[in-house]
Structure 1
Amino acid sequence: MTGTDSASRAGADGEPRPPAIVLLSRNPGMRRLVDRALRRRYAADYQVLTCETVADATEALAALARDGVPPAVVLAGFGEAEADGLEVLTDLPVARTALRVAVVRWGDWGTARPIFDAIGMGRVDRWVTCPELPTDEEFHLAMTEFLHEAAARRGTAFEAVRLVGQRWDPRAQQLRDIFDRNRVPTGFYDADSEAGRAVLDGAGLTDPALPVVILPFRPGHPVLQNPTAIQIADAFGLFEPVADDEEFDVAIVGAGPAGLGAAVYAASEGLRTIVLETEAMGGQAGTSSLIRNYLGFPAGISGSRLAASAYQQAWTFGARFHFSRAATGLSSEGGRHAVHLSDGTAVRTAAVIVATGAAYRRLGVPEIDALQGRGVFYGATVSEGAAMHDQEVFVAGGANSAGQAAAHLARYAARVTLLVRRATLAETMSEYLIRAIGSAPNIEVRYRTEIVGATGTEFLESLRLRDLDTGTEETVHGVLFLLIGAEPHSQWLGEAVAKDRRGYVLTGNDVAGGSAHADALGQGPAMLETSVPGVFAVGDVRRGSVKRVASAVGEGALAVGLVHSYLRRVRAAR
């Protein structure tokens, strides 16, 4: 085994050793090329440990664990000369926060299917092609992404925001979740810890109203005590007032995948576009730790990263974003619409795209709902994942979001139990997730099971489960994540916009009267148009939508084309 000069110097002056990049390849040619690339770029910030044998790699990882040094990425060769490379990579004692990455030679097509299967089953995280040249930027682009994800898993990323609060306070947990979903680098400090007290002392606070949000990146380092969402948005410098006489071509309500998809296409095609978002970009998809079935990302992408990239893309094209103001009503008159907001203002627009999505449905068990944020979490698997180290974790739900949550939490928890009311996952979950869950050694699925009770005052102490077939009840202990069904965010639309009995917005031929319905221009509702002409609905808020990120983005893009047609007809009629 060989190491870098930085590894030999680490610890000599008492400073903590940097994270490690560990390479195992029994192929001398591959080992030389990858080792050269890693040392030239990363040796200043990481320990680069190159191993020739499985025994060397096992010992290197054990030594890192003894020294408390986290491995960031563990790479292992796979190919003709290392046919068992995937099995070796799977069996190595790798820390749960590290990424397992298979390295292959370009053109070795036979490695593709086994790697994809291993990733799909959760045995391997990523793959990368061996760098053939001294400056192989494709390799380094992939490595940068791996190291960034590993840093996020360890919680050692740059802190643009410092949040101080009680560990299990629901408001503090909500803020952590919002910051994580918006990809704001955040450091959380328990107010009762020595580090938390030091942060408060540094801010000159002795008896603050928790939680406290400190913004070191802003002029004057603003310190906010128990702030509202509007106060946070204003302190971030995100709020750009809308003038009373300002009118947009289209107002998009909601910044989930459907809303962001609409924003990118509307702004890129020259429409004056504003996006209204009350909480966090990405909607429910923003809470997904890894989406593997979205077009163009073969290794997968986190929901928050996908949303942040879409936001930047829409913003680059000129879309305006209005954060932390919730839509409270919609009024229409003379072919014009106004979206009324929670701060008492209104946004005037020629057309509206409703993309407010849906929220995870509440369980309806009073003891459970009373403990939200204190051992009971709706979504929040990304922000709370690292805190589940060695915990017993239960995930309620049977759709893709629950499967992604279980796979993510299994990196940290001692055991994850998926609680499913149905007798199978086949009807509600993608095949790749079913395979990943089935192959994970610390994930168990309990079918035909529901939660009927809980105990706990300050924190969840126990759950009571019932077998739906036998009626037998059992008490278990652990932390609970709920991802069960959805309730559409459509109440703010009032009675003018037709909905079904569950609150999903009706569009196109589903509108009462179907094609017989006609607007002031003699046209029936378009495919995504609601009962109010010029108001369109896309994504999870719409009845009949396909609950997938790709379809939501597609609906957003399609709605923009329908908005163009509507605006042309309105302008031609004037």
Structure 2
Amino acid sequence: MTTDDAVAGPVRPAIVLLTRDDGTRRIVEDALRRRYGADYDVHTFGDVATTHDALSRLTAAGTPVVLALVALGTDDPDGLEVLEHLPVDRTCVRVALVRWGDWSTTRPIFDAIGMGAIDRWITCPGLPVDEEFHTAVTEYLEEAATRRGTRFEVVRVVGVRWDPRTQYLRDLFDRNHLPAGFYDATAPEGRAVLRAAGLADPALPVVLLHYQQVPTVLQRPTDIQIADAFGLFEPVGKDEVFDLAIIGAGPAGLGAAVYAASEGLRTIVVEQEAVGGQAGTSSLIRNYLGFPAGISGGRLAFRAYEQAWTFGARFHFMRSVTGLAADGEERRLTLSDRGTVRAATVVLATGASYKRLGVPSLDTLSGRGVFYGATVSEAPAMRGRQVYVAGGGNSAGQAAVHLARYADHVTLLVRRQGLETTMSEYLRREIASTPAITVRTRAEAVAGTGTDFLETLTLRDLDSGAEETVPGVLFVLIGAEPHSQWLAGSVARDRWGYVLTGADLTGGRGTAAPAPEDPTWPAERPPAMLETTMPGVFAVGDVRHGSVKRVASAVGEGALAVSLVHQHLARR
């Protein structure tokens, strides 16, 4: 075991390794010390009791344990049980260590991960310099840093913690993968940041672009001012006409952007908030193809954004589209900043948002103890709190699991009798095996009290009608409302606002009957599969009637839309 007590300076995070196999311990310890010893204290142990004692001392000293590696194998048959019950913080990433080729450990490990008992697994280094091993370790250390909120700051936000605009900006930066630090303007540290910026009585919130040589200081900035300050806005030329304009940068829009740009189409993506859409707020998506250990929605979305950007797609951030009209063979988009985008084809990928509760006493506290969606940036602030999550779908389940790392306890409020028809099995298993999560079926939140912040929450049993008042914080992830209000009169929608496409335009609509003011299909040819009532305009993802609410299907629809765009351009 290493100690650095004699060296003055900040407390360094700790990496802990436990295995009874001397050979394995020497190999892994050597690899960890050589690569990470400058920034982390590496502690290695050969028995459980010594490990527990050392972890207690580290906790008492305020040393965060960010990564725990426990072997599973012949000499460590109880490795999974030991790893599950290590006395470490919930933000620590717990990893099972196995020898390559020991296939007998695979099913127990996968089951343990599925039950939420451990986080990841890793194979022992096979070479003196094993980059595959170190790639995995680096990813786990980055995940731990994200959980703890200790990242490099390119942006500083100074404001009042529960101010809605401040909270919105923090979440916006987090979802756009911009490392941001928050400083409470009422605390000494926040006041010190303001003084250093030369601000005596600023309009809050204040945003400081700290990465620039001369920091840019913005007081109570609009979204457009933020985008312009970051240099994210490239004006569209007056005579520019794109092959494809994509509205929305969620999974469907990003999928379309990647395929369109990679195939040489002049592509622009208009996004009013952050890449990723609803999926971007998911703390961990474990059933997306190609990521066996799972990936956060924000990370997946940011990688897709980088991919589309690399291929040449243009992005127009912090602008929303307010109008869509046909102009001969072109389609014209009117933007919230009064700008215009012209394109031969359009893909609508505006997605959907969580429904409001419709409870005035709760809706008035939005952002102040009542949060719509899985606001990832607020999760660390839930330490020591009782948290309630309203919803029974995958997003609600993922939020509950993530919040359980911080909150004292999380209660999932589900209106149905159970989760079997609304949530994936892997999430149900993980929730059932997490002691910090309770599922209350046939229950809903019906009222709340508080002035500056939610103080109490009233819960109702839907069968008996009995009500109970509890302290806590509420996250709401129920239902969905499509972002399509601005499309009224432009393309046909169903009675709930979802955009009609393909065969739904020409008959057999049933419950998908369009609203009376919506147009009908105008051309002699039949509409393409994802085509709306405006030829050359396609709808994909959650905004489309009949879509499958899954990230993979949204990406697939985005890719399919690009092939239909090619067909439309060929007809022209």
The superposition leaves residues 364-423 of structure 1 with CA deviations (integer Å, 9 ceiling, x where unpaired) of: 000111001111111243111111112100000000000000000000111000000000
**1:68-107 counterparts in 2 under 5 A?**
68-107=62-101
> Which deviates more, 190-199 or 381-390?
381-390
* Distance in 2 between residues matched to 1:327 and 1:60, nearest whole Å: 57
Query: Which residue pairs with 2:553 in the alignment?
Result: 551
> Out of 150, 168, 174, which is 2:168 matched to?
174
Query: Which residue pairs with 1:233 in the alignment?
Result: 227
Report if the CA contact (8 A) 1:214-1:223 is conserved: yes
Report if the CA contact (8 A) 1:103-1:129 is conserved: yes
**1:245-324 counterparts in 2 under 5 A?**
245-324=239-318
Report if the CA contact (8 A) 1:289-1:381 is conserved: no
* Distance in 2 between residues matched to 1:330 and 1:58, nearest whole Å: 63
> Out of 522, 525, 528, which is 1:523 matched to?
525
Do residues 495 (structure 1) and 497 (structure 2) align?
A: no
> Out of 192, 199, 202, which is 2:196 matched to?
202
Report if the CA contact (8 A) 1:514-1:525 is conserved: no
Aligned to 1:187, the other structure's residue is in SS state strand
Report if the CA contact (8 A) 1:72-1:98 is conserved: yes
* Distance in 1 between residues matched to 2:265 and 2:202, nearest whole Å: 45
* Distance in 1 between residues matched to 2:446 and 2:6, nearest whole Å: 52
* Distance in 1 between residues matched to 2:443 and 2:374, nearest whole Å: 22
Query: Which residue pairs with 1:55 in the alignment?
Result: 49
Q: 1:436 offset after TM fit, Å?
A: 0.5
Report if the CA contact (8 A) 1:519-1:525 is conserved: no
Query: Which residue pairs with 2:465 in the alignment?
Result: 471
* Distance in 1 between residues matched to 2:27 and 2:79, nearest whole Å: 17
Q: 1:28 offset after TM fit, Å?
A: 1.5
Percentage of identical aligned residues: 67
Aligned to 1:93, the other structure's residue is in SS state coil
Aligned to 1:223, the other structure's residue is in SS state strand
* Distance in 2 between residues matched to 1:496 and 1:320, nearest whole Å: 25
* Distance in 2 between residues matched to 1:495 and 1:41, nearest whole Å: 61
* TM score, norm. by length of structure 2: 0.97
In the alignment, structure 1 segments of 5+ residues that lack a partner are: none
* Distance in 1 between residues matched to 2:552 and 2:527, nearest whole Å: 24
> Out of 190, 206, 212, which is 1:212 matched to?
206
Report if the CA contact (8 A) 2:269-2:315 is conserved: yes
Q: 1:80 offset after TM fit, Å?
A: 2.6
Aligned to 2:214, the other structure's residue is in SS state coil
**Residue type at the aligned position of 2:303:** S
The superposition leaves residues 440-465 of structure 1 with CA deviations (integer Å, 9 ceiling, x where unpaired) of: 00100000011111111111011111
> Out of 7, 14, 17, which is 1:12 matched to?
7
Report if the CA contact (8 A) 1:239-1:323 is conserved: yes
**Residue type at the aligned position of 2:349:** A
Aligned to 1:227, the other structure's residue is in SS state coil
Report if the CA contact (8 A) 1:381-1:409 is conserved: no
> Out of 137, 140, 144, which is 2:138 matched to?
144
Query: Which residue pairs with 1:452 in the alignment?
Result: 446
* Distance in 2 between residues matched to 1:343 and 1:471, nearest whole Å: 49
Sort the Cα spacing of 1:367 and 1:518 in 2 relative to 1 into closer, same or farther, 3 A. Answer: closer
Do residues 537 (structure 1) and 524 (structure 2) align?
A: no
Query: Which residue pairs with 1:567 in the alignment?
Result: 569
Report if the CA contact (8 A) 2:448-2:457 is conserved: yes
Query: Which residue pairs with 1:340 in the alignment?
Result: 334
The superposition leaves residues 303-349 of structure 1 with CA deviations (integer Å, 9 ceiling, x where unpaired) of: 00000000000000000000000110101122210111000011000
Query: Which residue pairs with 1:379 in the alignment?
Result: 373
Report if the CA contact (8 A) 1:329-1:340 is conserved: yes
Q: 1:543 offset after TM fit, Å?
A: 0.9
Q: 1:204 offset after TM fit, Å?
A: 0.4
* Distance in 2 between residues matched to 1:223 and 1:11, nearest whole Å: 40
**Residue type at the aligned position of 1:116:** F
Query: Which residue pairs with 1:358 in the alignment?
Result: 352
* Distance in 2 between residues matched to 1:113 and 1:176, nearest whole Å: 40
Report if the CA contact (8 A) 2:114-2:430 is conserved: yes
Q: RMSD in angstroms over aligned alpha carbons?
A: 1.2
Aligned to 1:328, the other structure's residue is in SS state strand
Report if the CA contact (8 A) 1:255-1:275 is conserved: yes
The superposition leaves residues 471-494 of structure 1 with CA deviations (integer Å, 9 ceiling, x where unpaired) of: 111111101101111100011222
The superposition leaves residues 55-110 of structure 1 with CA deviations (integer Å, 9 ceiling, x where unpaired) of: 12111211110010111101100123211100000011011111001111111111
Q: 1:512 offset after TM fit, Å?
A: 4.3
The superposition leaves residues 211-259 of structure 1 with CA deviations (integer Å, 9 ceiling, x where unpaired) of: 1000011352110011110000000010000011100000000000000
**Residue type at the aligned position of 2:543:** V
**Residue type at the aligned position of 1:143:** V
Report if the CA contact (8 A) 2:521-2:534 is conserved: no
> Out of 29, 32, 37, which is 1:38 matched to?
32
**1:378-457 counterparts in 2 under 5 A?**
378-457=372-451
* Distance in 2 between residues matched to 1:380 and 1:217, nearest whole Å: 28
Report if the CA contact (8 A) 1:338-1:346 is conserved: yes
Sort the Cα spacing of 1:180 and 1:11 in 2 relative to 1 into closer, same or farther, 3 A. Answer: farther
Aligned to 2:395, the other structure's residue is in SS state helix
Query: Which residue pairs with 2:514 in the alignment?
Result: none
Q: 1:518 offset after TM fit, Å?
A: 5.9
* TM score, norm. by length of structure 1: 0.96
Q: 1:115 offset after TM fit, Å?
A: 1.0
* Distance in 1 between residues matched to 2:388 and 2:313, nearest whole Å: 40
